[in-house]
Chains A and B, each alone.
Chain A
Amino acid sequence: MTEITKKTILEIKEGLKKRDFSTLEVTNSFISASEKNKNLNIYNTFTPEKALESSKISQKRIDRGEERLLDGIPIAIKDLFCTKDILTTASSKILSNFIPSYESTVTQKLWDAGALMLGKVSCDEFAMGSSNETSCFGNVINPWSERNGKNLSPGGSSGGSSSVVSSGSALAATGTDTGGSIRQPVAFCGVTGIKPSYGRCSRWGIVAFASSLDQAGPITKTVSDSALMLNVMSGFDDKDSTSADLDVPDFTQTCNDFKLDKVKIGIPKEYQIDGMSPEIIKLWQQGSEWLKDRGAEIVEVSLPHTKYALPTYYVIAPAEASSNLARYDGVRYGLRNSQDNLDELYAYSRGEGFGYEVQRRILIGTYVLSAGYYDAYYRKAQRVRNLIIQDFQKAFDKVDVLLTPTTPTAAFELGSQLDPISMYMNDVFTVPASLAGLPAMSVPSGLSKDGLPLGLQIIGNQFDENSVLKIAANLEDQARFPFLN
């Protein structure tokens, strides 16, 4: 029998049903794996007692034949989701002592479905970063580092969530994605993750970064596992007025559909950029071939405003962040640097509590929103955002999904990307879909010549996650990716 920690959610569900093992055995396996992988610095808060306690309730339901969708499945939660009575830090010093009195909608749905919480995992501070290095608790280490003799970044911001799954320390994790924070780290860590359409999952109780972009999504080993978990996480929530009041289809239904006749795959020509590694270009072509083998038609499409997506994002995201993060004032919660004067109390608390990247983004956001610059920067970016959305709409008149690489390179070494713009370039292929609110998924599809994971991205039309999952499942089936665990 395969080791428990190497299995998928679907395999564990089947094993639990057939009594091959108990929820306690499953939970203990992942607790031990998490302890063994302590050197990767994945967890901000480890809650094994919580998982063990819930595993007993899950076992009882399974024994009665009343099991729920995720009963007995140990998962990790990105430390950006508020969890009732459990420390929620956003990997920031300013929230290092924050204990929410409420539970986020998405995590509540997961607990209601029987999932077990192993703990809260690291991310870039307030999800701002692409390397996990901005966490106030230090970076997570990419689990592929040891085998390759390098000190690799897990990517970010959901670096802890991706590493926890890649290292076999949890069956799945929640992530959030604002400009690529699920897709880039899953590509770096050799696992799978989907950012659903904006509005698919409730944002209520998730520490806000950029509200017109933030979306929650699952991180798992396989496409089917992601689909199953997304079934649980999705749905309208009257506590989030931007969540979509639409029926949630069964996302698992297209994951076993291996016939692609009549499916049109778009290859956006503007995603061929300078500085892209040749092996990524090769993998991208390989991906097209795989889908062609299954009967799909490959069509070149044009998204002419692609190169403006990153600068647009770096106006809109910091602008929204500067507004969202105004709430951290040292008065109601979080770190306080006591001063005699209220304005100084704010300024010193925020100066001490926010890390450098977060401060930089708040300053950019404040600048582009300030008097005299609002129209030149913020309004302008909102107009370009509209053009980027129109590009996608025109493309989806012709094709069903788009196929692109997830990242321009494989995982880089920790400490290697020093200036902000080269770090921001990591998200060059993920940001456009975020700006348009489209579902997009990364599937581990091959290894670089150095033996590092590479991902392919599938972008779908709005609220058409099922097409994305179907194409992802086909790539996964053809790629036979050699998972680390």
Chain B
Amino acid sequence: MPIDKDIVAKVSNLARIKINNDQLSTISNELESVIEWIDTLNEVNTDGVDPIANVSGQKLPLREDKVTDGGYSEKILNNAPEKESGFFVVPKVVE
């Protein structure tokens, strides 16, 4: 599957990563060679094989839905690039 500059531009927009135009062709070549390599998986017959995500065989436990943590918003905001009155600050999103 050829990966052209338009696909890279689309994917980088989905991933919210700003990529300079002069890098687009290098990246598209590299992605294409990686994807071509990944395409070797098509040689494997996986009919009737279940996809697997949990490898430990452990059941994911449920816990009671109650608050166990919190009450330190100031500490959390300490790492914020911009904060005001206990809130994170972002550019205006509604007019």
CB pair A101 B76 closer than 8 Å: yes
| B63 adjacent to chain A (CB < 8 Å) | yes
Within 8 A of A (CB), among B49-95: 49-58, 60-61, 63, 72, 75-76, 78-82, 88, 90-91, 93
| A57 adjacent to chain B (CB < 8 Å) | no
Shortest A178–chain B CB gap in Å is 13
CB pair B79 A347 closer than 8 Å: no
* Chain B interface, DSSP helix/strand/loop, else mixed: loop
| A381 adjacent to chain B (CB < 8 Å) | yes
| A332 adjacent to chain B (CB < 8 Å) | yes
CB pair A212 B54 closer than 8 Å: yes
| A308 adjacent to chain B (CB < 8 Å) | yes
CB pair B56 A244 closer than 8 Å: yes
| A305 adjacent to chain B (CB < 8 Å) | yes
CB pair B15 A363 closer than 8 Å: yes
The CA-CA distance from A297 to B91 in the complex, in Å, is 67
CB < 8 Å neighbour of B46 from A246, A342, A354, A387: A387
A 335-367 to B, binary, CB cutoff 8 A, 1 in contact else 0: 110111111111110111010000110111011
| A330 adjacent to chain B (CB < 8 Å) | yes
Tell me which residues across on chain B come within 8 A of A322, comparing CB atoms.
15
CB < 8 Å neighbour of A245 from B55, B58, B93: B58
The CA-CA distance from A252 to B41 in the complex, in Å, is 40
CB pair A199 B56 closer than 8 Å: yes
Tell me which residues across on chain A come within 8 A of B18, comparing CB atoms.
344, 347-348, 350-352
CB pair B55 A389 closer than 8 Å: yes
| A273 adjacent to chain B (CB < 8 Å) | no
CB < 8 Å neighbour of A360 from B31, B56, B82, B88: B31
The CA-CA distance from A346 to B18 in the complex, in Å, is 9
* Chain A interface, DSSP helix/strand/loop, else mixed: helix
Tell me which residues across on chain B come within 8 A of A382, comparing CB atoms.
51-53
| A417 adjacent to chain B (CB < 8 Å) | no
Query: A245-B61, A331-B88 known; A386 and B52 CB under 8 Å?
Result: yes
Tell me which residues across on chain B come within 8 A of A244, comparing CB atoms.
56, 58
Size bin of chain A's contact surface: 35 or more
Within 8 A of B (CB), among A444-485: 462
CB pair B44 A351 closer than 8 Å: no
CB pair A314 B34 closer than 8 Å: yes
Tell me which residues across on chain B come within 8 A of A212, comparing CB atoms.
53-55
Query: A101-B78, A334-B79, A384-B41 known; A339 and B91 CB under 8 Å?
Result: yes
CB pair B56 A420 closer than 8 Å: no
CB pair A238 B91 closer than 8 Å: no
Shortest B40–chain A CB gap in Å is 5
CB < 8 Å neighbour of B16 from A241, A332, A336, A343: A343
CB pair B31 A364 closer than 8 Å: yes
CB pair A367 B54 closer than 8 Å: no
Shortest B80–chain A CB gap in Å is 6
Q: For A339, give the chain B residue with the smallest CB separation.
A: B91
Tell me which residues across on chain B come within 8 A of A341, comparing CB atoms.
91
The CA-CA distance from A393 to B8 in the complex, in Å, is 39
The CA-CA distance from A31 to B76 in the complex, in Å, is 32
CB < 8 Å neighbour of A197 from B16, B56, B80: B56
| A242 adjacent to chain B (CB < 8 Å) | yes
Tell me which residues across on chain A come within 8 A of B44, comparing CB atoms.
305, 308, 383-384, 387
| Known A364-B34, A386-B52; 14 more pairs at CB < 8 Å | A198-B55, A199-B58, A333-B81, A339-B91, A345-B90, A350-B18, A351-B17, A359-B19, A360-B27, A360-B31, A383-B44, A383-B52, A384-B44, A385-B52
Instruction: Tell me the A residues contacting B by CB distance below 8 Å.
Output: 97-99, 101, 197-199, 212, 238, 241-242, 244-246, 305, 308, 311-312, 314-315, 322, 326, 329-336, 338-348, 350-352, 354, 359-360, 362-364, 366-368, 370, 377, 379-387, 389, 419-421, 435-437, 462
Task: Rank and list the top 4 A-B pairs by shortest CB-CB distance, nearest first.
Answer: A351-B18, A382-B51, A437-B55, A336-B81
